[in-house]
Structure 1
Amino acid sequence: MTLDWEQVVVDAADPGALGRWWAEALGWVVVNEDPDEYEIRPEKDRLPGLIFVPVPEGRTVKNRLHLDFRPDDQDAEVSRLLALGARPADIGQGEQSWVVLRDPEGNEFCVLGARRR
């Protein structure tokens, strides 16, 4: 039996706006712009992707699942993401080597530091 990871589903108040933001943040391509399923991928035929779906309720608590990203230059990437509209987040992490940010709808994600060798 095989199990392939297809995508991560993200609940959103505005799937198109949030999907466009993440496409810009990640440099990914849009593969579906339906109002009920806005999907982005690293490349048209490459998985896994992110799919944004509408939900009527707003986010009320810390995410149970979040994404971690490891850039070449953490400071530069955090600055770029903040310029795109991300916001700093304090989820009780204290002083760490990673930076916690929120996307425009408040979903947390982490920008990691350099990988230890």
Structure 2
Amino acid sequence: MDLVWEQVVMDARDPVALGRWWADALGWVVVNDAADEFEIRPTPDQLPGLLFAVVPEDKTIKNRLHPDFRPADQAAEVARLVGLGAQRVDVGQGDESWVVLADPEGNEFCVLSSRAG
């Protein structure tokens, strides 16, 4: 097999604003800042990246695919992300060890329990 995972594409009403939010949230760099396709990566040459593509409609239902992040300190990371503009959301998860957040356009992601050690 000769496949390379290039990127995950996220639909966005405002790709630049959402892409910059995720770049700040992840500490990634911008590799393409076009208004209709905004791309970030961990480093300029490291894949996969996130590509934010413009769409005319708002998000209306729960994501079928979402990223999970494992922080060193869950409470501190949740507070930092909420401070950047994320919101806590209830997608029916109940009482779990992870926290479900949504980015400024409503895309869900999870902050898992803190890493051991």
Stretches of 4+ aligned residues off by more than 4 angstroms? none
What value does the CA root-mean-square deviation take over the aligned residues?
A: 1.2
Following superposition, the deviation at residue 77 of structure 1 comes to: 0.2
Q: Partners of 2:116 and 2:27 in 1: how far apart?
A: 25
SS at match of 1:109: strand
Q: TM-score, normalised by structure 2?
A: 0.97
Query: Counterpart in 2 of 1:101?
Result: 101
Q: What is aligned with 1:51?
A: 51
What is residue 22 of structure 2 aligned with on the other side?
22
Length-normalised TM-score, structure 1: 0.97
- 2:71 alignment partner in structure 1: 71
**Structure 1: gaps of 5 or more residues:** none
Q: Quick one: distance in 2 between partners of 1:61 and 1:21? A: 21
Partners of 1:89 and 1:104 lie apart in 2 by: 12
2:82 aligns with: 82
Say how many residue pairs are matched: 117
1:24 alignment partner, SS class: helix
- Structure 1 position 114, deviation (Å): 2.8
Identity score, percent: 69
Measured against aligned partners, the alpha-carbon deviations of 1:15-50 in whole angstroms (never above 9, x if no partner) come to: 000000000000000000011110000000000000
